[in-house]
Amino acid sequence: MNAHRHPSTTDPTPKLPKNARRVLQILKDAGRPLTAYQVLDELRAFGVTAAPTAYRSLDRLVATGLVHRLETLSAFVACDRAECHGPAAIAVCTECRQTTEMTGDMVPGYLQGWADAEDFAIDTVAIEMLGRCADCRRNHQDP
């Protein structure tokens, strides 16, 4: 018997609507979090001016796991992994807004263990670590 894989993690990209693929490309090119408004700004180059189109595409990408929503910045960032099962946490540099995904089973496993013990049903988990990246700290050495 082969180990089962989650069916939802098979590459969803080809099935994405055109605008969702454009939004994904915009976020990948940016390489950092963009707000929905900034995404819409970039979409204008493709003749898309309707905000609901941008929001729908972003929602869809978040649902597929190709894009992560950053609650603290009200922004969106493209997943930096080929096959993401959801980040355990995302570290956000508050100066340059660069993000780094932390993945692994330890944190989700711990949270699930707590939820099981408390009989709490988790819908979503959003962990964001705010701070300054190594580059930004080097550039501004605190006295």
Q: Is 77 in the site for Zn ion (CB under 5 A)?
A: no
Look at the block and give the residue holding tokens 């660069």: 98
Q: Please tell me whether residue 95 binds Zn ion under the rule CB under 5 A.
A: yes
> Which one, of 87, 84, 132, lies nearest residue 107 by Cα?
87
* 126 contacts Zn ion (rule: CB under 5 A): no
The token pair that represents 3 in the structure block: 């180990």
Q: What's the CA gap between 80 and 68, in Å, rounded?
A: 10
CB of 81 to Zn ion, least distance (A): 5
Q: Classify the phi-psi angles of 35: left when phi > 0, otherwise alpha if psi is within -120 to 50, otherwise beta.
A: beta
Identify which of residues 29 and 83 has a Cβ nearer to Zn ion in the complex: 83
Where would I find the H helices in the chain? 18-30, 36-43, 51-64, 106-118, 134-139
Q: Which one, 95 or 112, has the nearer CB to Zn ion?
A: 95
Nearer to Zn ion, 51 or 63 (CB): 63
Q: Which of 50, 51, 63, 96 binds Zn ion (CB under 5 A)?
A: 96
Q: What is the CA radius of gyration of the chain?
A: 17
Q: Would the annotation count 96 as a binding residue?
A: yes
Annotated binding residues, written as ranges, equal 93, 96, 133, 136
Which positions lie near Zn ion, rule CB under 5 A? 79, 81, 84, 87, 93, 95-96, 101, 133, 136
Annotated binding residues for Zn(2+), written as ranges, equal 93, 96, 133, 136
